[in-house]
Structure 1
Amino acid sequence: MRPLPIAAAVAFALTLPALGAEADKLSTSAEIKTIHCGHLIDTEAGKLLGESTIVIEGARIREVRSGKADVAGAQQNIDLATSTCLPGLIDSHTHLTGETSPTGYTDQFRWNVADYAIRSTVYAKRTLDAGFTTVRNLGDNDGESIALRNAINAGIVPGPRIFTAAQAIGSTGGHADGTDGYRKDLAGDPGPKVGIINGVDDAWKAVRQHYKDGADVIKIMPSGGVLDESSSVDNAQMTIEEIKAVVAAAHDYGFIVAAHAHGAEAIRRAVIGGVDSIEHGTFMNDEDMKLMKEHGTWYVPTIIAGKYVEEKANVPGYYPPQVAAKAKQVGPIIQATAGKAYKAGVKIAFGTDAAVYPHGENAKEFKYMVEAGMPPMFVIQAATTHAAQLLKKEKDLGSLAPGKFADVIAVEGNPLDDVTLLQKVRFVMKAGERYE
């Protein structure tokens, strides 16, 4: 093993607290806490349990007992006897380093990366306060979500556990190309170093660059999208060969791959190409759903994003005209597509596209999913056990069970009777630490 350069050695040393912050609590502090819950949702069994006691040691759950139990050696006892406890929620599709604004298309020419990074700390705290203790961050401007993740892991700022894709990967002029709409002298020719690819070799370069930069997952853009300044929301923008190359490279490096895809053909290519999840899926057809079931591909609907952009498209000047036109195409369709996919048996994980709407309102998605025909227990599982499986982190996340991180939230009343209660989280704990 060759010695690290000084700068790299310092960077590595600075990451040590972040890497060990959660995992080492059992061995270093071993503080024992209990939470007494009036009810507890067992997301693995899909059942609402009665009075329960969660025993926490350090960052993880030691055991879950039936009834109100006294635990010897507990340094802290938290009484939530009037509340329903459930695992910390997981949003599988967020963008914590930006937020919707009528000035967003001009802010990008005035703000530096640091401006986005500083604001991201506010968005992260809002997300955590809303009960989302883990997120998959699917795209930023210049890797600033990596810095946000590291700051949260080091305990510098509060926020959810982040698995970030950094910059999305796509084609020249496609939904991932942040220079769409720029005049020629500003647009330049972005390449694989910033996620813009044209061909198989570029695909491998882009994924390897993401590995070098410190990303956790990969996000691709095989179809058009709503908020970029191009004309199509659903055209196919990556070849099957490019998608397969990204997936092959990503899986070599242990990354899962999320595919932003509105159009049916883009969805088909992405599924055949081996991606792990389809995001949005607005114009998904029966063939796509059949393929997704055959390949075991996850679907992340993001209904709230479609509804929000449709609403704002009717506000004069909020979006550029071509963006507003695309928003009006997607908004009326996306919820019905999610309902059809559920009935067809496609695997569904919870995700919202946070930033397209204001951060902290993530739990509105539950109501929209239920309106689409999904049972309340299913939508809660979509944001816990299902999302953990998508992340391949089910050993650590997704349920209140021994050995898993002590990510616990609570609401007054029973969210299985009224899923909108999840918009009013009263208690948040992440990895054994309570957040007010």
Structure 2
Amino acid sequence: MPATASDKSLQCGKLFDSRSGKLLGAHTIVVRDGKIAEVLPGRAEAAAGTQSVDLSDRTCMAGWTDMHVHLGGESSPQSYSEGFRLDDTDYAFRSVGYAEKTLMAGFTSVRDLGGGIAPHLRDAINQGLVKGPRIWAAGKSIATTGGHADPTNGYNSELSHLLGPPGPTEGVINSIDDARQAVRQRYKEGSDVIKITATGGVLSYAKSGDAPQFTVDEVKAIVDTARDYGYKVAAHAHGEEGMYRAVAGGVSSIEHGTYMSERVMKLMKEKGTWYVPTIYAGRFVADKAKIDGYFPDVVRPKAARIGAMIQDTAGRAYKSGVKIAFGTDMGVGPHGDNAREFTYMVEAGMPASYALQAATIHAASLLGVDDQGVVEAGKRADIIAMPGDPLADISNVLKVDFVMKDGSIYRSPAR
């Protein structure tokens, strides 16, 4: 087949194979029409008319996927008051910059787990209107009354009376019928995945960060209804009992997992449930809890107690054999800093190769797709590169300076 203007030949000094977790020698990746056409050993001569990209002093690999972000916002001491002062339009404009920062850091795909902006940002990116990663959007998270993701938590009685109690349309349920309706509403609004808050949370304006907030039957109703629409269900969970109920109810992944016990791990392995640790978020909130005024008084003790535990839990889960996919909960911390999660995973006891697999082939498996996460012929041309060897020194992941998504180059090394 003759070369076209869109054909590219990437001359990679090293190539990380996400299937084996091994670092290979020099390879040439031929890209055509947004797909990987060939992966050739060594430095192959580019065909006439093909754009040659010299990455011979860099390590190439499949673009990363962050399985837990919130592109509609970013944590700050003003976050709680801004919810009363800003409109969705304000958050939408902010999200454009957050999305571009995420892409430029090497994350060509993300799963946005909660926020009404994400489905619209996804569409704008897909239409080429703004730059950003490929997005799987949950839309509004599903909660119970007073639970993490009840949008009226912290409202005074007058405001609560004026607005009335939120229901399934707003993502708040209290029965099996409500659960089904809430999933169907997310389908109506164009979500790609369902997110539930199976326990209390750290940053919600509520006292408990770990109490169970769904019954097993409610979780099953959500999972069964989600399956009708081809959706997977991700469960935010810190507390042990709520986590166990979520896994028993059939969710695809547990997010955060702070108080994960041996009982929960055993059930996760039996059911094939994935774990997305979000160590970055835990460390971030534990650090900010030390600063007077950063969090409201009701949030601060939760952030100090729960946040500091997640890294240890991730290490125990890895040693136990629980399947792990990469996720940061970015939006809690600053967008674009996502790759620091790799360093925390390695600190927790995971091999660097496993951490990189978590953001590539493992993430693709959890998403339920087979066209990304590996550098192979026929897959999406989502390719990133960085100087240095990330297996020898995981901090090299912070140096990504080449980003290709669907065959288009968004970032190139300065020469």
TM-score range, shorter chain: over 0.9
1:110-129 → structure 2 map (5 Å cutoff): 110-129=85-104
Q: In 2, are the aligned partners of 1:32 and 1:73 still within 8 Å (CA)?
A: no
Q: In 2, are the aligned partners of 1:258 and 1:279 still within 8 Å (CA)?
A: yes
Rounded to whole Å, the distance in 2 between the matches of 1:278 and 1:160 is 23
The equivalent residue for 1:375 is 351
Show structure 1 runs of 5+ residues with no match.
1-25
Q: In 2, are the aligned partners of 1:60 and 1:431 still within 8 Å (CA)?
A: yes
1:173 and 2:149 equivalent?
A: no
The equivalent residue for 2:33 is 58
Task: Note the alpha carbon deviations across 1:79-119, whole angstroms, 9 max, x for none.
Answer: 00100001100000000010001001101111000000110
Match of 2:114 among 123, 132, 139: 139
1:149 and 2:122 equivalent?
A: yes
Q: In 1, are the aligned partners of 2:255 and 2:276 still within 8 Å (CA)?
A: yes
1:207-246 → structure 2 map (5 Å cutoff): 207-246=183-222
Rounded to whole Å, the distance in 2 between the matches of 1:133 and 1:306 is 23
Rounded to whole Å, the distance in 2 between the matches of 1:348 and 1:184 is 42
Deviation of 1:72 after TM superposition, in Å, equals 2.3
1:82 and 2:85 equivalent?
A: no
SS in 2 for 1:108: helix
Rounded to whole Å, the distance in 1 between the matches of 2:106 and 2:343 is 16
Q: In 2, are the aligned partners of 1:93 and 1:138 still within 8 Å (CA)?
A: yes
Q: In 1, are the aligned partners of 2:235 and 2:251 still within 8 Å (CA)?
A: yes
Rounded to whole Å, the distance in 2 between the matches of 1:248 and 1:323 is 33
The equivalent residue for 1:316 is 292
SS in 1 for 2:45: coil
Q: In 2, are the aligned partners of 1:30 and 1:57 still within 8 Å (CA)?
A: no
Give the count of matched residue pairs: 406
1:49 and 2:24 equivalent?
A: yes
Task: Note the alpha carbon deviations across 1:340-367, whole angstroms, 9 max, x for none.
Answer: 0000000000000000001011011111
1:272 and 2:248 equivalent?
A: yes
Rounded to whole Å, the distance in 2 between the matches of 1:174 and 1:73 is 60
Percent identity reads: 55
The equivalent residue for 1:3 is none
The equivalent residue for 1:162 is 135
Deviation of 1:74 after TM superposition, in Å, equals 4.3
The equivalent residue for 2:279 is 303
Task: Note the alpha carbon deviations across 1:232-263, whole angstroms, 9 max, x for none.
Answer: 01000111111000000001100010000000
The equivalent residue for 1:356 is 332
1:406 and 2:367 equivalent?
A: no
Deviation of 1:433 after TM superposition, in Å, equals 0.4
2:331 aligned partner, one-letter code: A
Show structure 2 runs of 5+ residues with no match.
none
Match of 2:14 among 39, 63, 68: 39
Deviation of 1:404 after TM superposition, in Å, equals 0.7
Q: In 1, are the aligned partners of 2:5 and 2:51 still within 8 Å (CA)?
A: no
Q: In 2, are the aligned partners of 1:193 and 1:206 still within 8 Å (CA)?
A: yes
TM-score (norm 2): 0.96
Rounded to whole Å, the distance in 1 between the matches of 2:254 and 2:379 is 27
Task: Note the alpha carbon deviations across 1:32-84, whole angstroms, 9 max, x for none.
Answer: 11100000001112211111100001111011000110132443110001000
1:385 and 2:358 equivalent?
A: no
Rounded to whole Å, the distance in 2 between the matches of 1:385 and 1:185 is 50
Deviation of 1:322 after TM superposition, in Å, equals 1.3
The equivalent residue for 2:315 is 339
Deviation of 1:31 after TM superposition, in Å, equals 2.6
The equivalent residue for 1:262 is 238
Rounded to whole Å, the distance in 1 between the matches of 2:189 and 2:123 is 12
TM-score (norm 1): 0.92
Q: In 1, are the aligned partners of 2:12 and 2:55 still within 8 Å (CA)?
A: yes
The equivalent residue for 1:23 is none
Task: Note the alpha carbon deviations across 1:383-403, whole angstroms, 9 max, x for none.
Answer: 00000000001x211011111
SS in 2 for 1:185: helix
